[in-house]
Amino acid sequence: MSDNIRTTLEGGVLTVTLDRPDKKNAITQAMYAALSEAMERARADDAVRAVLLRAEGDSFSAGNDIGDFIAIGSQTEQPFDMAVFRYLKALAELDKPLIAAVKGRAVGIGLTMLLHCDLVVVADDALLSVPFVNLALAPEAASSLLLPAAIGHQRAFELFALGEAIDGRTALAWGLANRAVPTDQVETTAAELASRIAARAPNSIRKTKRLMRDAEALWALMQREGEAFGSQMKSPEAMEAFMAFTQKRAPDFSKAG
């Protein structure tokens, strides 16, 4: 288990905490492995009736740790060997309620993992974005299906293509969240919802969630997305985007084609 992922079980709620606040909870491959273990435990353990996903600090997650991602991604021929794909599969297969408490930034997978949550509480001033195209990459976590399904094709394409953030109030209005509340109420609101869900008939809840989601189809799509993501990672476009990111400048795609 990564030191940057903490879990506690109380009252049927497994709380999973991203604990890397100094890096805005950017997720490393070690953290993905720990998150996978937590979701797999939740699915197998009858004592777990709901999962609450939260984060320390002022941001939910800045997305992938870019340095870690590039280093590990460049060493593997198959992107599916990376721990992130184990986590994505665990999200697709999780048949227990997943609740998220989101404050501050939710970037990339920080947003796309919310598409696998059953209840999402956001701070009204939270900022959510999916800047995959900004990094010359492609959508992941089945977001190429789930995001348009949630908010419509045009809105989803704008989020993907332009990479601009929306705030928590907009996320609520567009259907990405169940509640948008002041920052200081996010944790208590999400915890209260998780407790209420955990008190419901567990088998009824699990069967309801299974009927609402096609886990096999989601995982198949995640693998297709992974192929596109992996090919883009090795592309000249992505190399320029990563270089620009580290140099804190805008990428130049004028010669790409």
Superfamily of domain 5-183+198-202: 2-enoyl-CoA Hydratase; Chain A, domain 1 (3.90.226.10)
Radius of gyration of the chain (CA): 18
In order, the DSSP letters of 212-249 are H--HHHHHHHHHHHHHHHHHHHTSHHHHHHHHHHHTTS
21 pLDDT tier (thresholds 50, 70, 90): very high
Mean pLDDT (whole number) for 63-79: 72
- Judged by phi (left if over 0) then psi (alpha if -120 to 50, else beta), residue 192 lies in alpha
Q: Where are the domains positioned within the chain? A: 5-183+198-202
- The per-residue pLDDT for range 189-200, each reduced to its tens digit, is 999 999 999 999
Q: Mention every residue, 6+ apart, whose C-beta is less than 8 A from residue 88.
A: 140, 141, 142, 219, 222
Residue 82, pLDDT score: 82
CA pseudo-torsion sign 210, 212, 214, 218: negative
Q: Give the Cβ contact number of residue 134 at 10 Å.
A: 19
Per-residue CA distances from 93 to 86, 196, 215 (Å): 11, 22, 5
12 pLDDT tier (thresholds 50, 70, 90): very high
* Angstrom distance (rounded) from CA 202 to CA 21: 33
User: Which of 131, 11, 116 lies closest to 53 in space, CA to CA?
Assistant: 116
Residue 168 has which token pair? 């928590």
Question: Collapsing DSSP states into helix, strand and coil, what is residue 152?
Answer: coil
* Angstrom distance (rounded) from CA 195 to CA 49: 9
**Lowest-pLDDT range of 35-49, 70-84, 135-149, 241-255:** 70-84
- Judged by phi (left if over 0) then psi (alpha if -120 to 50, else beta), residue 152 lies in left
**Lowest-pLDDT range of 140-144, 165-169, 240-244:** 240-244
* Angstrom distance (rounded) from CA 26 to CA 59: 9
Per-residue CA distances from 62 to 24, 58, 80, 173 (Å): 6, 11, 22, 23
Mean pLDDT (whole number) for 219-234: 92
Residue 18's DSSP bridge partners are 5, 55
Predicted TM-score (pTM) of the model is 0.94
| Average pLDDT over all residues of the chain | 94
Asked if 122 contacts 186 with a C-beta cutoff of 8 angstroms, the reply is yes
Helix 153-162 / helix 143-151 crossing angle, nearest 10 deg: 130
